[in-house]
């Protein structure tokens, strides 16, 4: 999994020489505001078959009508025949079909090699935080790290490190370690600096937080793109597509409902959920038994509980769902509750369609809804 990563984007001096449009795109990319890297960077990446860009963008070839991963082993197409997309769904919606050689809809469930290398480095250097200027020494572009972590973890790489440090600190405090020793172990030279940083994340001092809890989140790669999986100490409480536009709103609601900070990490419930989801995507699982916690209004809870009773491989209409929660005629209300579901797939809101049989809406995108329904209908037991 270890590989030497080479920076493929232009140095800053070259960027200044580009026209104003490209420079504007580059600034947006650096700030995590653009969904795609600069065009020249993507062109160089696919021409080198750079696998570290897999999942970052997809290229579609106008002359063949197919779309590929950047690492596709096929002969690189001419630049003027290429169109770029942020997700497989965008390419499919534009009329392209997936390449049969690189299979862009499939994934091995692992992050790019450079991300795995970066995370291992953090594990080995506990207590020392990497600055952006340190990343080039690891052959990692800080701009790419910022955008990847923003897309897959909902925060920049620097914010990820801070949250991860505080999560480790909370674990040490729960184990009974002294506040001063915990702060030193996390790289803080002063007790006051550690206390201030801790309080910004958890909203309380280290001493009071010894009995506190948090929501831990991790990323799972899947055939429908990266998923964010979150859980408290007692149950799974979050499962969402990492690129969903309403993700920030979902996080705010999650914090409000549980009154806990959200930090990178893992526990037994995220581990169980990831294993069962992998089995689901492989066609080997039709139900989930990981414990769930999904607070909401009385009506929302009724809708979400009704969704869990829809059998695998079956669909119902919004009208039927409204009847099942004893609110006949309230199709729009149940549709709104569907959209606020914070545990996608496991609470299967994708199994609700229009009365006409058309897909209707889906927060993760209609292509994902179609993919999930097709996956379930392909299972022999459901035929």
Q: In which region does residue 109 sit, left (phi positive, over 0), alpha (psi from -120 to 50) or beta (all else)?
A: left
- CA–CA distance, 214 with 284 (Å, rounded to integer): 32
**Cβ distance 60 to 85 under 8 Å?**
yes
Task: State how far Cα 39 lies from the chain centre.
Answer: 23
**Cβ distance 264 to 153 under 8 Å?**
yes
Q: Would you say how long the chain is, in residues?
A: 383
- CA–CA distance, 281 with 221 (Å, rounded to integer): 11
- CA–CA distance, 241 with 367 (Å, rounded to integer): 13
Q: Are strands 66-68 and 97-98 parallel, antiparallel or unpaired?
A: parallel
| Residue 72 among the catalytic residues | no
Please identify which of the residues 102, 237, 274, 349 carries the catalytic annotation: 349
116: phi then psi, degrees, rounded to nearest 5: -60, -40
Query: How many other C-beta atoms lie within 10 A of the C-beta of residue 96?
Result: 23
**Cβ distance 140 to 2 under 8 Å?**
no
Q: Which of 341, 311, 306 is nearest to 326 (CA)?
A: 306
- CA–CA distance, 328 with 78 (Å, rounded to integer): 56
Q: Which of 106, 109, 25 is nearest to 68 (CA)?
A: 106
Q: Cα separations (Å) of 238 from 18, 69, 164, 232, 269?
A: 43, 29, 18, 9, 11
Q: HEC string of 288-335?
A: CCCCECCCCCHHHHHHHHHHHCCCCCCCEEHHHHHHHCCCCCCHHHHH
Residues known to be catalytic: 349
């Amino acid at each position: 999994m270890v590989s030497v990563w080479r920076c493929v984007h232009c140095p800053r001096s070259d960027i200044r020489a580009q026209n104003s449009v490209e420079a504007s795109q580059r600034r947006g990319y650096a700030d995590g505001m653009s969904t795609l890297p600069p065009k020249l960077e993507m062109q160089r990446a696919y021409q080198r078959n750079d696998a570290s860009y897999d999942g970052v963008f997809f290229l579609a070839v106008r002359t063949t009508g197919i779309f590929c991963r950047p690492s596709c082993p096929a002969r690189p197409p001419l630049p003027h025949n290429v169109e770029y997309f942020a997700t497989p769904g965008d390419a499919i919606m534009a009329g392209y079909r997936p390449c049969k050689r690189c299979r862009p809809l499939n994934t091995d469930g692992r992050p790019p090699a450079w991300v795995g290398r970066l995370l291992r480095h953090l594990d080995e250097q506990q207590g020392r935080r990497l600055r952006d200027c340190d990343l080039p020494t690891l052959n990692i572009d800080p701009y790419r790290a910022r955008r990847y972590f923003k897309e897959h973890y909902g925060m920049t790489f620097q914010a990820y490190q801070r949250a991860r440090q505080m999560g480790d600190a909370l674990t040490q405090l729960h184990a009974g370690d002294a506040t001063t020793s915990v702060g030193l172990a996390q790289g803080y030279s002063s007790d006051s600096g550690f206390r201030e940083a801790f309080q910004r994340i958890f909203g309380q001092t280290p001493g009071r937080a010894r009995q506190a809890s948090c929501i831990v989140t991790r990323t799972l790669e899947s055939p429908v793109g990266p998923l964010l999986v979150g859980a408290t100490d007692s149950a799974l409480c979050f499962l969402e597509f990492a690129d969903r536009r309403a993700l920030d709103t979902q996080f705010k609601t999650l914090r409000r409902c549980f009154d806990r900070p959200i930090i990178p990490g893992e526990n037994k419930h995220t581990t169980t959920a990831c294993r069962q989801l992998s089995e689901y995507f492989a066609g080997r699982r039709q139900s989930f038994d990981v414990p769930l916690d999904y607070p909401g209004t009385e009506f929302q809870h009724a809708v979400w509980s009704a969704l869990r009773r829809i059998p695998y491989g079956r669909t119902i209409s919004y009208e039927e769902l409204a009847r099942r929660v004893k609110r006949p005629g309230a199709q729009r209300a149940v549709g709104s509750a569907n959209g606020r579901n914070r545990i996608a797939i496991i609470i299967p809101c994708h199994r609700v369609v229009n009365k006409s049989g058309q897909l209707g809406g889906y927060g993760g995108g209609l292509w994902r809804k179609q993919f999930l329904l097709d996956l379930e209908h392909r299972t022999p037991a459901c035929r």
